Structure 1
Amino acid sequence: MSKRELLRKEQERESLKMKRRKVAYVVVGVLVLSLIVVGTALGINKSRQGPAVDTSQDAISKAIVAIPEDVYDKVGPGSAEFPTTKTGNKPDKGGKVQLFYVGGEFCPFCAMERLPLAAALSRFGTFSGLKDILSSSTEKELPNIPTITFRNYKYSSKYVDLDAYELSDREGRQIASLPEAKQQIFDTYNPKKGIPFTYWGDITTSSPSYTPWLAGGDPKNVAKALSDPHSKEAQAIVGGANLFTAEICSRTGNEPANVCTSPGVKAAAKKLR
């Protein structure tokens, strides 16, 4: 079985686990409501998400949007991959690049994808509200991956519109739901409901950096490693960011030029489909 096939099966497993957790929490909520009659015991909505797990004073959140340009150029595509699936739609022409992301904070593969995706997007605009988290501790092979969350993020860019959703928290509890139009896209182009899921219009992408060795890592060490182009973290995460950047540049007419014509992005572009 290829690495890509293995990854897809694992993503589908994560999606199934999220569904099962959601059902379990609903059952518990019904029992609590019937026994205690507390109407707000398990209220779930976007305004009551609770704090993300932060063990590093947002060291990764700060580092991922401030990777030195010379590191990008030295890494190029690094060890990252960029698997894509065609949707059958034509690429959008003109206007901003439209990106739609779906993940969950518990999901280890989402944890891996958010890092290079956020790094790449930071080259086209400005983030606020990013926070450090750890993925689920209950994954036997991939527990406690240090990463960031798109929960409560804000993103401003003249090149890209990002619409990102974290559907579940680190424990698998639902914290958000998709609008009807987004749910239709998710169901149509991702029938097995695997996460992470990133929709570009003509393609979908998932996990360009397959980095299971991040499991249980120290967030501060991961942040520090992003400044070392020879580190395995930089090779995967910065490499993935360059691949994401090259894909975005292919849709913006290579703007901004200082990003899209940089050596690291040009090297990564050769690895795209």
Structure 2
Amino acid sequence: MSGAEERRRRVKTLRAEQARRQAAAARRRRFALIAAPIAVVVLVIAVMAGVKLTGTSTTGGTLSAASESTLAKVTGVPAETLAKAGAPPPDAKVLPVSGEPPLMQDGKPRIFYLGAEYCPYCAAERWPLIVALSRFGTFTGLGESRSTSDDVFPNTATFTFRSATYSSPYVAFTAVETEDSQGRPLQQPDTADAALVTKLNGPPYVPAEAKGSIPFIDIGNQFLITGASYSPDVLKGLDNEQIADKLADPTGSIGKPVDSVANLMTASICAITGDKPANVCNEPVVKNIRKGLG
């Protein structure tokens, strides 16, 4: 089997697993919609009876703060390291969107992320997304997380946007983590963002077999990313600090895919910011990728 055929086989397998996991998540959401009214009734009765309920929180499990040293390595990957990582592999793509109004917030183009903490594909995709966004602004409140232990690519180390905020003069970023690592309800998109996902996370923009996949990333209504851009398997058995350390090697088994996908995301963000800031968007590797985006 040729290298290209093997890559296609891996991508097909990855997409099939994503679709399976998304179907399971949809079933949980349907159950949640049925159970929610019942829970409300129970809560009202309990309050009236003066009973304190436990174990019914919808705020997810305990959030672990990310260490400063780990964050510094992820949010401060040097430009020269990213340049050496080069362009992403052919299987990593952003999907173009046409005919939609710009996605804006506070006068800036907006990036919207929809994912879940249990999701191993979200776990993998957060790494390059944080690397890329850190070139345009600053994160606070990022927490450490792992994907669920009972699915493919179990316990993939990552971060969570659950309590994070992002500040940038160039772009706005908002994120929704719908469930925690145990599949418990966490956050939900507002009405406008839910409509956005319904409209864009499927044909004609997203292939039918990947419809509804997470992570779903809308880059200013000009580009979409669905699913993982590389296999979460490369992160197997490592913790956040170990992964962060490996981002310094742009040719390694982890640094290469994460850093190069971050370059793809950077070029996509430059496309919606009018190539600002210039010191980032005018880098040769970013400009070359940007040309290929259209």
Q: TM-score range by the shorter chain?
A: 0.7 to 0.9
Q: Using the alignment, how far apart are the partners of 2:114 and 2:196 within structure 1?
A: 11
Equivalent residue number for residue 173 of structure 1: 184
Structure 1 residue matching 2:254: 3-state secondary structure: helix
| Amino acid aligned to 2:150 | T
Equivalent residue number for residue 204 of structure 1: 224
- Say whether the 8 Å CA contact 1:101–1:163 is kept in structure 2: yes
Q: Does 1:245 align with 2:263?
A: no
Structure 2 residue matching 1:232: 3-state secondary structure: coil
Q: Which one is further off, 76-85 or 191-200?
A: 76-85
Q: Does 1:195 align with 2:214?
A: yes
Structure 1 residue matching 2:172: 3-state secondary structure: strand
With the length of structure 2 as denominator, give the TM-score of the two structures: 0.79
The match for 1:156 among 167, 180, 198 is 167
C-alpha distance after superposition, 1:156-195 (max 9, x if no partner): 0111111111000001111011111111111111254221
Equivalent residue number for residue 208 of structure 2: none
- Say whether the 8 Å CA contact 1:77–1:264 is kept in structure 2: yes
Deviation of the 1:52 alpha carbon: 2.7
| Amino acid aligned to 2:75 | V
Q: Using the alignment, how far apart are the partners of 2:88 and 2:12 within structure 1?
A: 21
Q: Which one is further off, 95-104 or 108-117?
A: 95-104
Equivalent residue number for residue 214 of structure 1: 235
The match for 2:117 among 102, 105, 109 is 105
Q: Using the alignment, how far apart are the partners of 1:178 and 1:93 within structure 2?
A: 15
Q: Using the alignment, how far apart are the partners of 1:61 and 1:160 within structure 2?
A: 20
- Which contiguous aligned blocks of 4+ residues in structure 1 show a shift greater than 6 angstroms? none
Question: Whose relative contact order is higher, 1 or 2, with alpha carbons under 8 Å and at least 6 apart?
Answer: 1
Q: Which one is further off, 60-69 or 151-160?
A: 60-69
Deviation of the 1:211 alpha carbon: 3.8
Equivalent residue number for residue 249 of structure 2: 228
- Say whether the 8 Å CA contact 1:60–1:148 is kept in structure 2: no
Deviation of the 1:5 alpha carbon: 4.6
Equivalent residue number for residue 43 of structure 1: 57
Equivalent residue number for residue 23 of structure 2: 16
Q: Using the alignment, how far apart are the partners of 1:52 and 1:93 within structure 2?
A: 30
Deviation of the 1:93 alpha carbon: 9.5
- Say whether the 8 Å CA contact 2:153–2:232 is kept in structure 1: no
Q: Name structure 1 gaps, 5 residues minimum.
A: none
Q: Which one is further off, 252-261 or 160-169?
A: 252-261
Deviation of the 1:59 alpha carbon: 5.4
Q: Does 1:73 align with 2:83?
A: yes
- Say whether the 8 Å CA contact 2:88–2:264 is kept in structure 1: no
Equivalent residue number for residue 63 of structure 1: 73
Q: How many residues align?
A: 266
Q: Using the alignment, how far apart are the partners of 1:210 and 1:53 within structure 2?
A: 25
Structure 2 residue matching 1:209: 3-state secondary structure: coil
Distance 1:86 1:7, change over 3 A: farther
Structure 2 residue matching 1:117: 3-state secondary structure: helix
- Say whether the 8 Å CA contact 1:14–1:195 is kept in structure 2: no
Q: Using the alignment, how far apart are the partners of 2:112 and 2:60 within structure 1?
A: 21
- Say whether the 8 Å CA contact 1:102–1:197 is kept in structure 2: yes
Q: Using the alignment, how far apart are the partners of 1:38 and 1:138 within structure 2?
A: 31
> Cα RMSD over matched residues?
3.0
Equivalent residue number for residue 143 of structure 1: 154
Deviation of the 1:258 alpha carbon: 0.8
Q: Using the alignment, how far apart are the partners of 2:179 and 2:10 within structure 1?
A: 26
Deviation of the 1:90 alpha carbon: 4.2
Distance 1:158 1:244, change over 3 A: same
| Amino acid aligned to 1:17 | A
Equivalent residue number for residue 85 of structure 1: 95
Q: Which one is further off, 58-67 or 219-228?
A: 58-67
- Say whether the 8 Å CA contact 1:80–1:237 is kept in structure 2: no
Equivalent residue number for residue 265 of structure 1: 286
Distance 1:181 1:127, change over 3 A: same
Deviation of the 1:76 alpha carbon: 1.5
- Say whether the 8 Å CA contact 2:139–2:166 is kept in structure 1: yes
| Amino acid aligned to 2:170 | Y
Deviation of the 1:78 alpha carbon: 4.5
